[in-house]
Amino acid sequence: MSDAFPDPHLGEPFLLTPGPLTTSLEVKEAMLKDWGSWDDDFRALTRDLRSRILALIGPGSENYDVVPIQGSGSYAVEAMLGSFVPSDGKVLVLANGAYGLRAAKTMEYLGRAFRLLDKGDYLPPRGREVAAILADDPEITHVLAIHCETSSGILNPVAEIAEATAAAGRKLLIDSMSAFGALPLHPAEIGCAAFVSSANKCIEGVPGFGFVVARKQEIVAAKGNSHSLSLDVHAQWETMEKTGQWRFTPPTHTVAAFIEALNAHEAEGGVPGRGARYSANRDVMVAGMRALGFETLLDDEWLSPIIVTFFCPADPAFTFQGFYDSMKTQGFIIYPGKLTVADSFRIGCIGRMDADVMRRVVAAADNALKSMGVASAAPPHAALEERQKLSA
Ligand SMILES: *Cc1c(COP(=O)(O)O)cnc(C)c1O
């Protein structure tokens, strides 16, 4: 490891996963203290958390506010959908992977109208498709886009989706769970009504809460919309504004760790700095894996600096479990793939790791192939044919 990244993981393997991820020692140490949820010191942490997230969204931030929600990221997605989509609203859900489909499932649970554009495992929803559906269906009030679809690692074309949504006079909601903090997102500029992210992704905190960033007027107008007491964004916001407290038990240790994570984010140069390190992680890792013969699902144009999907080699000596076990023994936890079309695995670029670590990841993959007796890491022909669809 370089000096900039002293061993953060106390001998544990690196998590090459999209969160929870490897955090710094400082972030872990910030949790060695108990906080009273009503106490001024903790309320100051909550204030700090909200204002510092807001500062990351750039121009126009004065018209937005931040509402943290207890739970994992999906709780924040559900809070956003349940709070901002009125019961007579209708959402166009743009899906190209598990998280888009989960948002559609959430709409089913909410019992509110939605239309699903399902592009399959990874093909991006395009602005022209969104424009055509919105022109065809005047009942649609909101569009939900996934910023980085973590199940393939594709960076979706949010700018063109935003443009089509604004041109049709509809409201845009974004799941930026795995992108916010590393990739620029300026909601005022693109006309985004609300987006969500969580503590344990690109800010490099630990799991325990998500947060909704929304236009203040949307929050005010959301009063009475929510299907759920605990996921009511307006009620959480109102209480926080009045008392500085969360409505129900806050994840105190997670909040303290998050403040420490924000300090490191700031010291690294904020969103551009964080994005640059993750991009270097991806570039080093992808180049190294390609040199070993592995192939990525996506062309470079669509590769996010968050997580990358590789096809499993066609060589019969290769098994995902064998590869996984060997990588783990060498100190790296990788992630299974989520493609229905071909066997795959994923390697994350986010968390407390730098290019040096990624070089060691590639060396470990090389070792793993050799120890399994895999002669070639080339994927099956069918996988490469599937990939042609993206360029078509
Ligand atoms: C991580 C993630 C979520 C939330 O998942 P949880 O397991 O509930 O934290 C939602 N959307 C995307 C795109 C994600 O990457």
Domains 14-20+270-391 and 33-266 equal at CATH topology level: no
Residue 72 CB–ligand 1 contact under 6 Å: yes
C-alpha 19 – ligand 1 centre gap (Å): 8
Domain boundaries, the chain: 14-20+270-391, 33-266
- Cα 159 vs. chain centroid, distance in angstroms? 17
* 180 and 195 Cβ atoms separated by less than 8 Å: yes
In whole numbers, what is the pLDDT of the chain averaged over residues? 95
Residue 263 phi, psi dihedral angles, 5° rounding = -60, -45
- Please tell me the predicted confidence (pLDDT) of residue 341: 83
What tokens appear for 199 in the block?
A: 């503590």
Ligand 1 in reach of 175 Cβ (< 6 A)? yes
Tokens of 76: 């924040």
Whole-angstrom distance, CA of residue 264 vs CA of residue 204: 9
Which stretches of the chain drop beneath a pLDDT of 50? 1-3, 6
Measured between alpha carbons, how far is 238 from 216 in angstroms, rounded to an integer? 11
Regarding the beta carbon of 178 and ligand 1, being less than 6 Å apart is answered yes
Any ligand 1 atom below 6 A from CB of 96: no
For residue 177, the CA-to-ligand 1 centroid distance in Å is 6
- Tell me the DSSP string of 202-245: TT---SSEEEEEEEHHHHHHTTTT-S-STT-HHHHHHHHHHHSS
Domain 33-266 is in which class? alpha beta
Dihedral sign of CA atoms 6, 7, 9, 15 in order: positive
Helix, strand, or coil (residue 186): coil
- From residue 175, alpha-carbon distances to 179, 192, 292, 323, 373 in Å are 9, 11, 34, 32, 41
367 phi/psi in degrees, rounded to 5: -55, -45
From start to end of the chain, where are the E strands? Answer: 14-15, 64-70, 90-95, 113-118, 142-146, 148-149, 154-155, 171-175, 192-198, 209-215, 307-311, 332-333, 335-336, 344-348
CB-based contact 268:69 (threshold 8 Å): no
Homologous superfamily assigned to 14-20+270-391: Aspartate Aminotransferase, domain 1 (3.90.1150.10)
